[in-house]
Structures are given as structure tokens and as C-alpha cells.
Structure 1
């Protein structure tokens, strides 16, 4: 391993000479930018289609308006808070080493662009989702005939509702791929060979904002969801979205700011960071063509995403909504692979010796065909996405054995539900890790004796996975839109019978699609992190060559047998655990405050239960907003400061090991949390559909407990690990030259390193301490849970 990752190897492969794009390549990049703009145009067309649908009754419109108001207010406050942090990072980036001032300025400027695009993607996703959910509910309402009308075609109604929900997700998908590709294309057009350095800032901006939106939105949504379930379902025996529950509006708001805004930003940064890694390595491995081909692949993905979104048209023969979604996904994947093959054979030469601008001797000596290597690497990424889609579906779909087993375990109580869900999550993490590991290794082997080429193949596999991102984002947004539609229907009481069942079925499909997209998102995170790890290795090599140090020095070598590097590996794994624990604990505290508030309202306003009094929904929204914004700082500071503390204390070698530990542990942890949570959620749906006693039974109460445990797993801590890994990788990539310079250069200053490390450690300690000091607000001696002896199966909501 020392030989594999020794930065002393191939110093001559590092070329700092600036270059410009040829006229042909510049034209291609301009066409790619035009394709990105086309995606935004298609998004606008989809918006018109979605908004053309009916909004239902006045009651439904009022509930939807309340959700919209809460979501807009929260996201505006969150972006103002995060904006301050972004401005600080903008100026800090100006202080980090670069070849010249234009690179520093460009890196900081495109950091803001990446942050802005990430925020816009999240905001657009949320804004359309809160307008589409009521339209999905209104479409489902058509399933129930009015007095005197003939029976409706239930299949046609279900298909209409599903199409509205999925095309809402298609809008978010188009913005994700459009803005991501547009940003990267603009950097390449302006900076040419210097683009990789500037793209580091673009990727960091996207990743940082995504992490804040993912964590903040996840805390908001799951605090409200857990609080609503525990008091409403378990203690009061009322349905999930009953209007008498004060947490219902906050729960629906949370679905949008967490699952729509947060996940959209998360997948955007996965898209952006994977492109960053591919372009950084592409210049070194493929020369001038390496700055363009990694853009061609996702540009093809933009076109096939459009096809995939429109291909999701349900048919009568479909077993469920997942059949139509799978059809769109696989159509997009297959067409992408064919078009990438055409692009590779048209654009790339037939031998490595013909590549221009490559200085790596091992690349030049490679006797393979660059076209076949590129095609094979991209194919690995596409196949990986398809396999993860099927694997995750197996562990989380309601008609598969794992979820059925959890539902059956509910007959013996909540403890066995928890054990069954944990077991499934742990097992599924192993299989997913094996798939991703084999994919990374398969791509790596394509490089032969050239480490640079092998790492570029890994990055190309990531771009291959990106070709499906447009459909993946649509799948993800489909979930919360369906969930919200069901909530609006139940709260208004205007969707009954067959229409309510249509929404229940869509919600179950949505739970599966959300779990699938989380699995694919972590795959993109690992591929991007692995590619960035290679970029980090070259950043060290460049810095070491600049200062004239020996790469065998203790703090420079990445030999894992060295104690400092082993410590770094352990710390990387530990930070993932700490980050996850902090996120889950934040949900626990905030959910506790929601539970106390909802109990208080039921106790002090007994008229709520007979509809003579209206709950104070705004108080719960306010609690969730304040808690989510208050909890943002700690995980964000941990992600940024931990790599700084490790690097400036133990050296760049230990920091590399730290990243390796974080990648491995983060992969397993993220999949475990996502799949166990998704399985618990659908097990609850299974029981609510009438299995094992149905709603109001002991088995139902047990699955509700499992679902509340799984909520922060699958929607807060698990997804937030994706941007965490990329933020830490990008921070390490940016600070590596400074660590080498202060430790080994002519102006080496151990004192400066010590001061920086000490400050970073103190910031982490202070942030964690402040977080742990917070306690659940509210509560008194009368807040003992009250379980209804014979809870009603159904209630008639207020009109």
C-alpha cells in the first residue's frame, strides 16, 4: 500500500503549464453548456404541466397554503443563516495557496456559484413540491364518484396522480443536471487547463450548502414526524395526518424542506463534486481531451434524463407504480450507455500515444484503447446504479420478504421490530458496500500500471452514474410529494375511499424510491470521494515537489503501517459516528420538544379532540424551525474543522488515512441508516394496509415505534453523510499544500501548524459541548404518555 499511495511516485506527471482549449473542444463545451440550458427549458415546460392540474377543494387549498407558508419561511431563514457561513468561507479560500491570484479569485468566486446553484436547486425543488402535492391529492380525489356518478376508472386516476408527482420530481432533476453541468462548463470555458483548481471551490460550495440543507431540513422534518407519530398515533390513537394533531402542518412542511430541498441540494452537490473529480483527474490522464470528455458523458445524461422522465407513463399491466418508474430508469440507463459508446468512439483516439498534453509516462505507455477504457468505466457506473436500485428495492419494498418479516415481527412487540430493522440495515449495507467496492476496483483495474489512469477510470465510473441522476432526483422528489398529498387529503377529509387508497399506494412507492435514491446517492459519494482521494494524492505530490521535501518523511508518506496514519484512519471512522450521533440526538431533542407541545395542547384544549377547538399548528412549526437552525452549526463545524485538526496535527499522510477511514465507515453507516429506516417505514405501511391487525392494533403501535426510530436514520443522519464525505475530501484537498508548506518548506513554521491545529480542535470541542448541553424544552409532571385503550380505526376530519 505504501507503493500504491506514495506521493513520491510520478512527480514528473504533474504538469503546471497552462493551456487553452482548441477551437474544436471549445465548441463542444459550448454545445454542452447549451444542453444544460435546454434542461432548464424542459424544466419550465414540466412546471407548466404540473401547475395546469386542478387544486381540489377550498379546504385542500387552505392546508396546502399553510404548508407552503411554513416551508418558505423556514428555508428563507435557513439560507440567511448559511449565507453568513458561505461569506466567511469565501474569504478564507482567498488565503489558501494557489498558482496565481486569478486561481484564488476564481476558486472563491465559483465557491459562491456552487453554493448558489445548490441552494437554488433545493429551493426550486421545495417550491414546486408544495404546489404539486395538493394537485396530486386533487387528482386522486377523482377516484371517488360523486352521488349519481358512475364508478371511476381507478387505474386511470392512479396513473394521473402518479404522473403529476413524478413530473414534479422531473423538474428538480432537470435543474440538478442543468445547473451542475452549466457551472462546470463555464469554469472549463473560462479557465481551460486551470479549471480543476477553480472547480475545487465550485464543488466545495455545492457540498457545504447541501450538507447544511440536508442536516437542517432533516432535523426539522423528523422532529415533527416523530412528535406527531408518538403523540397522535400511539397516545391518542388518531391517524398520522389527522387535523387534530398540532404537529401535522410541521410534518408536511418538513417533508418539503428536508426531503425535497435537502435531498435536491444533496444530489446536486453529488453531481457537481463528481464532475470536479473527473475534470481534475481527466486533465492529467487524458490531457486536453480529459477536460471535455467528462462533460460529454453527463451531457448525454441530460438528454436521456428527459427521455426517462417522460418514459415514466404508467400502464394497466404494471404491477405497481414502481414498474413504471423502473421502466423510465432503465430506459435512461440503456440509452445513455449506447450514446456514450458513440461519443467515445467519435471523440477519443484509438491509442494513448495519440493523446495530447499527457506527461505521465505510464499513461503514454499504456497499450490499451482509450475509447474502450472510457466506455468500460462509464458502463461500470451505469450498471452500478441499476444494481443498487434493485438491491435497495429488495430490502425496502412492501411486497418483498425483508419488509414482510419486519411487519410479522410486530406481533411480538416493538423490541423485535427494532431488532429486525437493524438486522436488515446491517445486512444490506454489506451487499451495497460489496457492489460499490467491486465497481471501484473494477474501474481501477482498467488503468493498468498507471495510477493516474486508474483513478480517472474511477471518476469516469462516477460520471456514468451521473447519467441517471436526472431520473434519480425525480424518483426522490416523487416520495415527499406523494407523502404530502396523502397528508393534505387526510387533513381536509375530502379524499375518501378509493381515492385515499390511491394515495396510500403512491406513498408506499414513494418510500421505496426515497430509499433507492439514498442508496445511489451514497454510491456517487463514494465514487466521488475515491476520485477526490486521487486528486488529494497529486496535490501532495505537487506540494512536496515545490518545497523539495522527501515523500518518505513520516508525516508525508501514506504507509498505513505508520502509527500516525493508523490513528488518522481511526479518527476518520470516528468522525462519521460522531456526526451521525449528533444528527440523531438533535432530532431526539427537537422531537421531545414537539411531543411536549402537542401533549400540552391536547391537555389544555380538550375541545381539539371533538373539533370544537383548532390546534396551534404555528407553535410546532416555530419549535422545529428554531431547533433545526440552532443545530446546524455543530455538524458543519465538525465537517470543516476535523480535517484541519488532523492534517495540521499529524500531517498529510495521516489526513489521507483519515479520508480513507471516513469513506469506508461512511459508506456502511449511510446505507445501514437509510435501508433500516426505509424498511421500518414500509413495514408500518404494510400493517396500516390491514396486515397483522391493521390500524390501532398492538402490531401497528410496534411498527410506529420502529418508524419513529428509523425517521432520523433515513432522513437526517444517513443522507447527511454523503455531503459530509465530500466536504471533508474537498477541505483536505484545499489545505494539503498549506500543511506541506508550513511543515516542510523553506518557510516551515511548526508554530503556525500548532496554532491552526489547536484552534480547530478547540472549535470542535466547543461545538460538541454546546450541542450536548442543550436539553429538551418544555414538559412537566403531567406529561405522562396516555395510551387510548381502544383507539378508533378512523375519524371524520373537520370540514
Structure 2
């Protein structure tokens, strides 16, 4: 099998000096205006949400405590990440670029991407902690005070759901608005140089998203697992009982993990997909390739507005999920229709009419670029719809998989765990096959041109982006509903029908969170596959620029070569190591929470009869410190592993490394997300009265399953998405340097080995330090063996 860099290879970097045509410049300016319109709609939705009532004094006090904890954590996290971002800014200045303008722009827009990603996450958290109390207050109307007339339960449920979904709509509009605005500004300022500058924009978004995903995930799941294990299992009190010292931390975690983390995650998916589409678009579509990849998601912005407002529950709806599905499919169908109109208006009828293409094979392609683009985008839209339905099947409470897990609770926690793992493994296969078919279907559109085929994959990614506005709204809906139920239970001011309204919304929210994770994974794979093509092009350019020998083994992507096979295995291994580190971090932090909550129950027996108040702040502080402490290791692994592989084994092995990570990461992410989602809803199923209901042995078994699934679905699984894109972008950025120092005229073997060794040492040291950490209790030396034993239940009660 020949390597990809043969002497007759086409130079895909021709005509990069070309500027945007006046028509394309005008179109990009219109797209930028659409992005600004999305931000205006976000402001309108914020006003609608904040106009709702906040409920009782007790509910407002609890909401204020959650707001204070979330703000404090996110502020500390962003200060920590700010230092890291500044360091990467200067490192990017050292990497090769065609000119100083590209180098400076790449570093500057790295900071812009990081800032936009952080802002998206912060806005999501800021509104969510103000919306949850309003959702709880709306549900409270279902239980009128004495003397008040009975309220229409359906109308109350619809009102609460609308507030929660409009909150998500704000985050969705910010995600698509800021993502499209950033990319449009880069294209307007840098024109044909935009793809190189956008690499920095995408890296900034991906790095911050990964840190926010990992840190927020560790915080939220440590608090959640600790609260469940002591509160539900040991003390037999409800999930959000105010006597549990971990409840405030749990509600804080939902916002910094699910709202802030997932918003940043989907923003970086948006940004990175646009990066890949614009890099490949210039090579495949010439001048039009710098505008058309922005036009598709701009249409998605408009249809997302329609989809968000279309989520208006009706009396005939079977559940809240029916209304959400309706909004999603309305948005998807309208997107497809508008994209069809756009391609036939904007694109010519033959590839020969496209201007600025440097590849004769593409120019001679006998297909119709309009049909090519429409089918590629349609593949992405259809893929999103299929993933949505497939994930819903495996995680909804009304479907067989979750009901089967519920039945296994009658035989204990072991069978619950086994059933959840088996469902997660099975669902990962179906999702991977769907994603694989989508990628391959797009790839086939390119015919004999590899660059055109890769651009088709990128366009499929932009097609999937047309649904992102609604997807983010669906995701934020979950934690807002969860927090609303927590505030209602802790305050004791929502009972009866109102409490059931919130329980039903929470179950729908669990499903929407699982669905959005599935679609985020599909987006990650499409973006990674497209970036893989960009990586291939970057190597070809570097080989030509440094006059490298194209016959070098280290330059070949031939998988039969041992060094490439080793790279493939290492790519898969990093996904396992990353997942293990994230889950272990949750385990350690949750252990500290468990010991702290037990200590408070033991030393303050008045907590159980409400004569003493728990120390909520101590648990929030434990989760904050542990989450920030654990950020370094997965971040260093994501950045340093590609550097170690590339400089030691060559760019061919680095390409194989990326392939291994993409393949393994797809399966692992879906497995973790769907297992966790199914366990969570199986618990909800039992709590609704099935198999003995709350307080039964079956309930205890599903709580154990849910605690196992928590770090699966909300920490390790979602963090794999930005991991894949960070590693792809790092590989893309270092590829020219690897070629230069390994195979060029000024090859420096000593420097190359030194860089690889340093990266490997950093990884080993980070993992070693992480593994040495124990569960710190009351300031001891971190040895979990010295932690106090569980309190005697008789003493506690």
C-alpha cells in the first residue's frame, strides 16, 4: 500500500493568496448579521425566562445558595484556565506558519475561541441557576393553596416545561451565534488565510470545553454520588432532602457540569466543524468554499429559532418528549428545504464553473456541485435525526431497555449494573454503525477525488450543525428540570401534583441529556474525520515545503507498518486511560464527600430531626478543590500524547494514532453515555412506583446502578468528544514541525527525540501524581485507609 505523498501529488495550497470575491464577502457579512440576530433572540428569551415568578422565600434562599456556589466554582475554574490559555497563546506563536499574519492571527483567535467557549458555558450556568427556581414555582401552581380554585394540571406542566426549554434556547442561540460570528469574522479579515487562523480558534474552543467538561463533570458527579450513597442508601432519605449536606453541592454541580460544560462542549463542536469545513472547502470548492460552509449553519441558526419556539406542548402530546421531538424535526425539515434552495441559488451547475480550485481532478468531476452539497448536508441532518431516535430508544423510561433494567432491580444491584453495561455496549455498536454509514456515504460522493470526499464529510458535519441550536436547548432543559425538582424538595413548598409535574419533567430531561450526548458524539466523529483530512493535507504541504523524501517510512499512512500499528493502538489506549482517570477522579472526590456527609450525620444528630442545619459549604468546597486539582492530568494527556507519538514515531504513526482514538472514542463515549442514561431513568421508573417504589430493595439497587452511571454519562463519556478534537487539532498544528525536524533538510534527530521524551515524561508524571492522590478527610495525609468508619445507623437515627 503506497503512502499518500507521491511525487505527482496535487498541490492543494495553490491560489491561497486569493481574496474573497465581492459577492462572497457580502454573503459572509450577511451570515455575520444572522449570528448577531441569534444573540438578539437570546436576549429576548432571557427576558421571557426572568419574567416568570420565583416562588416562595424558601425556594429563593435555596436558589441563591446554588447561584453562589456555581458562580464561585466557575470563577475559580476560569481563573485557572486563563493562565493555561495565556501559555498556549505564546506556544502557538512558536509553531510554523506561512507568514507572521497567520501566526499572530492563529494565536489571537485561539484566545477568542477560548473566550467564546467560556462565555457560552458561563451564560448557560448563569441563566440555569435563575431558571430552575422559576420552573419549580410554575409547577407549584398545580397544588393551589386552601381556598384557591383547582388549576389545570396540563397547563401548569406546559408552563413549567416552556420556561425550562426557553432557558435552553438562550444557550442554544449563544452557541450558534458566537460560533458563527467568530468564524465569519476570521473569514472576513483573513480571507484565504482563514483556514489556518481558524485552527487556533477551534483549539481555543476545544481546550476550554474539555477542561470545563472534565472539571464540571468531576464536581457534579462527586456531589451526586456522595449524596445518593449516604442519603438514599444509608439514611433512607429522599434525593434532595435538605438534611443531606451534599444537596447544595449536587445542585451546583448540575449547573457547572451539565449546563456550563455541555454548552462549551457543543460550542467547540460547532467551531471545530466549521474549521474543518473551511480548510477543506477552500481546496475542494475554491472561492465558494470559504462562504458555503458558513451558509449552511447560518440557515441552521434561523431554523433553530423556529424549532425553539415550536416546542409548545399540546394537550394531545403523550409526554413532554413529544413536544421536544416536534421542535427538533420541524427545525431539521425546514433546514433541509432551505439548504436545497441555497445550494441551487448559490452554487453553479458544474465543478468546472467553480473559481479558484487548484485540483484538476475536481474541476473535471462530471457531477453537479449543487447535488453534491445538498446530499452531503442531508446526510448530516438525517444522521442527527437517526441518532436522536436511537438514543431515545435506549434511554427513555417508556422503552423496553430501561424497563428491562427496572425489572432486574428485583434481583439486586449486581444485575442492574450488568444490564446497564450490556445495553450500553449494544447501543454503542448501533450508533457507531450509523455514524460510520454517514461518514462513508458522504465519502462516496467524492468519487475519485479524496479531497472532495473529505469535504463531503465536513459538509455532513455542517448539516448536523443545523440542529445544534435545538440540541443545546434540549440538553440544558435536563439540568434545569433536575434542579427545579431539587429546589422543590429541599424547600418542601411543592407537593402532590406539582411534585409529580417536576418528576415527569426530570425524566424527560434525562432522556434529552442522553440524546444530546449521542448527537454530540456524532458531531465529534464527523469533525474529527474532516480534521483528519486537513491533517493529511498539512503533511503534504509540509513535505513539499521542506523538500522531504516522500519515500520515508515515517511519512506513510500504511497501516501494515509496525510504527503505524503501534500508533493506532496508542490512540485507542489514550481513550481508555482518559476515561479511567476521569472516573477515578470522581470516585476519589465522591469518597471525600461520603466521609464528610457521614461525619456531619454522626457528629450532629440533630440534623435528622431538623434541629441542626448541615454544613453545605464544606461539601461545596471539597468538590471545588478536587475538581480543579484533577483538571491538569487529562488536559496534559490530550495535548502531550499526540506530541509524543508524532515526534517519536512519525507523522504516519500520528495519523494512525488519531484513527485509533476516533474509532475507540466513538464506541466508548456512546457506551458510557447510554449506560448512564439508562441506569438513571431505571431509577426514575422505580421511584414512580414500579417494582416496589421508593424505599424498596429494588429502589436501592437502581440507586447503586445510577451512582455507577453518573461518572459514565456526565464526566468521562462527554469529555471524550472534546478530547478527540483537541488531539486532532494538536496533530494538525504540529504536523509541519514534525516533518521539518524529522525528514527535512534541517532535520534534527536530537531535538525531535528530546521533544518526544519531554512529552512522555510529562504524561507519566501527571498520571503518577494523579494516581498517588487519596481521599483527603479532615486534613489528613490523603490516605483513605485512615478515614472514619461509617456511622452506626442506630446512632444516626
* TM-score of Structure 1 vs Structure 2, range by shorter chain: over 0.9
Give deviations 1:231-273, integer Å, cap 9, x for gaps. Answer: 0000000000000000000000000000000000000000000
1:783–1:204 Cα change, 3 Å: same
Cα distance in 1 for partners of 2:5, 2:466 equals 33
Q: Which residue of 1 aligns with 2:619?
A: 620
Cα distance in 2 for partners of 1:560, 1:138 equals 59
> 1:146 is paired with a residue of what secondary structure?
coil
> 2:553 is paired with a residue of what secondary structure?
coil
Deviation at 1:6, TM superposition (A): 4.8
Deviation at 1:9, TM superposition (A): 6.3
Query: What residue ranges of structure 2 are gaps of 5+ in the alignment?
Result: 778-783
Residues 117 and 179, structure 1, Cα contact 8 Å, conserved in 2? yes
Cα distance in 1 for partners of 2:785, 2:51 equals 49
Deviation at 1:628, TM superposition (A): 0.1
Give deviations 1:255-310, integer Å, cap 9, x for gaps. Answer: 00000000000000000000000000000000000000000000000000000000
Cα distance in 1 for partners of 2:7, 2:54 equals 64
Cα distance in 2 for partners of 1:664, 1:301 equals 28
Q: Which residue of 1 aligns with 2:780?
A: none
Give deviations 1:448-483, integer Å, cap 9, x for gaps. Answer: 000000000000000000000000000000000000
Say whether residues 1:360 and 2:359 are aligned partners: yes
Higher alpha-carbon deviation: 621-630 or 149-158? 149-158
Residues 6 and 558, structure 1, Cα contact 8 Å, conserved in 2? no
1:701–1:289 Cα change, 3 Å: same
Q: Which residue of 2 aligns with 1:241?
A: 240
Give deviations 1:359-378, integer Å, cap 9, x for gaps. Answer: 11210111000000000000
Q: Which residue of 2 aligns with 1:529?
A: 528
1:564–1:782 Cα change, 3 Å: closer
Cα distance in 2 for partners of 1:8, 1:413 equals 65
Say whether residues 1:716 and 2:715 are aligned partners: yes
Q: Which residue of 2 aligns with 1:797?
A: none
Residues 7 and 540, structure 1, Cα contact 8 Å, conserved in 2? no
Cα distance in 2 for partners of 1:775, 1:31 equals 55
Residues 13 and 361, structure 1, Cα contact 8 Å, conserved in 2? no
1:44–1:612 Cα change, 3 Å: same
Give deviations 1:104-135, integer Å, cap 9, x for gaps. Answer: 00000000000000000000000000000000
Q: Which residue of 1 aligns with 2:225?
A: 226
Say whether residues 1:513 and 2:512 are aligned partners: yes
Residues 31 and 298, structure 2, Cα contact 8 Å, conserved in 1? yes
Matches within 5 A, 1:82-481: 82-481=81-480
Cα distance in 2 for partners of 1:378, 1:287 equals 18
Deviation at 1:734, TM superposition (A): 0.2
Higher alpha-carbon deviation: 251-260 or 748-757? 748-757
Residues 167 and 477, structure 2, Cα contact 8 Å, conserved in 1? yes
> 1:266 is paired with a residue of what secondary structure?
helix
Cα distance in 1 for partners of 2:226, 2:319 equals 31
Cα distance in 1 for partners of 2:242, 2:785 equals 25
User: If the length of structure 2 is used for normalisation, what is the TM-score?
Assistant: 0.98
Cα distance in 2 for partners of 1:2, 1:461 equals 28
Deviation at 1:151, TM superposition (A): 1.9
Cα distance in 1 for partners of 2:329, 2:571 equals 36
Say whether residues 1:79 and 2:54 are aligned partners: no
User: If the length of structure 1 is used for normalisation, what is the TM-score?
Assistant: 0.98
Cα distance in 2 for partners of 1:651, 1:274 equals 26
Matches within 5 A, 1:664-743: 664-743=663-742
Residues 11 and 542, structure 1, Cα contact 8 Å, conserved in 2? no
Cα distance in 1 for partners of 2:733, 2:15 equals 16
1:516–1:748 Cα change, 3 Å: same
Matches within 5 A, 1:559-570: 559-570=558-569
Query: What residue ranges of structure 1 are gaps of 5+ in the alignment?
Result: 793-799
Residues 221 and 250, structure 1, Cα contact 8 Å, conserved in 2? yes
1:281–1:782 Cα change, 3 Å: closer
Cα distance in 1 for partners of 2:792, 2:228 equals 13
Deviation at 1:783, TM superposition (A): 4.2
Deviation at 1:11, TM superposition (A): 3.3
Q: Which residue of 1 aligns with 2:11?
A: 12
Higher alpha-carbon deviation: 775-784 or 754-763? 775-784
Deviation at 1:584, TM superposition (A): 0.2
Deviation at 1:552, TM superposition (A): 2.6
Cα distance in 1 for partners of 2:470, 2:245 equals 35
Residues 216 and 631, structure 1, Cα contact 8 Å, conserved in 2? yes
Say whether residues 1:53 and 2:52 are aligned partners: yes
Deviation at 1:702, TM superposition (A): 0.4
Cα distance in 1 for partners of 2:581, 2:360 equals 47
Q: Which residue of 2 aligns with 1:749?
A: 748
Cα distance in 1 for partners of 2:787, 2:747 equals 63
Residues 8 and 541, structure 1, Cα contact 8 Å, conserved in 2? no
Cα distance in 2 for partners of 1:9, 1:676 equals 49
Residues 235 and 786, structure 1, Cα contact 8 Å, conserved in 2? no
Higher alpha-carbon deviation: 517-526 or 356-365? 356-365
> 2:584 is paired with a residue of what secondary structure?
helix
Residues 15 and 358, structure 2, Cα contact 8 Å, conserved in 1? no
Cα distance in 1 for partners of 2:631, 2:333 equals 40
Deviation at 1:8, TM superposition (A): 5.8
Residues 351 and 364, structure 2, Cα contact 8 Å, conserved in 1? yes
Cα distance in 2 for partners of 1:121, 1:417 equals 37
Q: Which residue of 2 aligns with 1:550?
A: 549
Cα distance in 1 for partners of 2:26, 2:697 equals 65
1:152–1:208 Cα change, 3 Å: same
Cα distance in 2 for partners of 1:251, 1:685 equals 17
Deviation at 1:782, TM superposition (A): 8.3
Cα distance in 2 for partners of 1:238, 1:680 equals 20
Say whether residues 1:42 and 2:41 are aligned partners: yes
Give deviations 1:399-439, integer Å, cap 9, x for gaps. Answer: 10000000000000000000000000000000000000000
1:397–1:787 Cα change, 3 Å: farther
Cα distance in 1 for partners of 2:684, 2:763 equals 40
Residues 6 and 559, structure 1, Cα contact 8 Å, conserved in 2? no
Residues 223 and 623, structure 2, Cα contact 8 Å, conserved in 1? yes
Cα distance in 2 for partners of 1:662, 1:720 equals 13
1:174–1:66 Cα change, 3 Å: same
Cα distance in 2 for partners of 1:89, 1:175 equals 25
Q: Which residue of 2 aligns with 1:796?
A: none
Cα distance in 2 for partners of 1:634, 1:431 equals 32
Give deviations 1:673-728, integer Å, cap 9, x for gaps. Answer: 00000000000000000000000000000000000000000000000000000000
Q: Which residue of 1 aligns with 2:781?
A: none
Cα distance in 2 for partners of 1:787, 1:702 equals 21
Q: Which residue of 2 aligns with 1:600?
A: 599
Aligned residue pair count: 791
Give deviations 1:306-335, integer Å, cap 9, x for gaps. Answer: 000000000000000000000000000000
Residues 12 and 537, structure 2, Cα contact 8 Å, conserved in 1? no
Residues 21 and 192, structure 1, Cα contact 8 Å, conserved in 2? yes
Cα distance in 2 for partners of 1:747, 1:16 equals 27
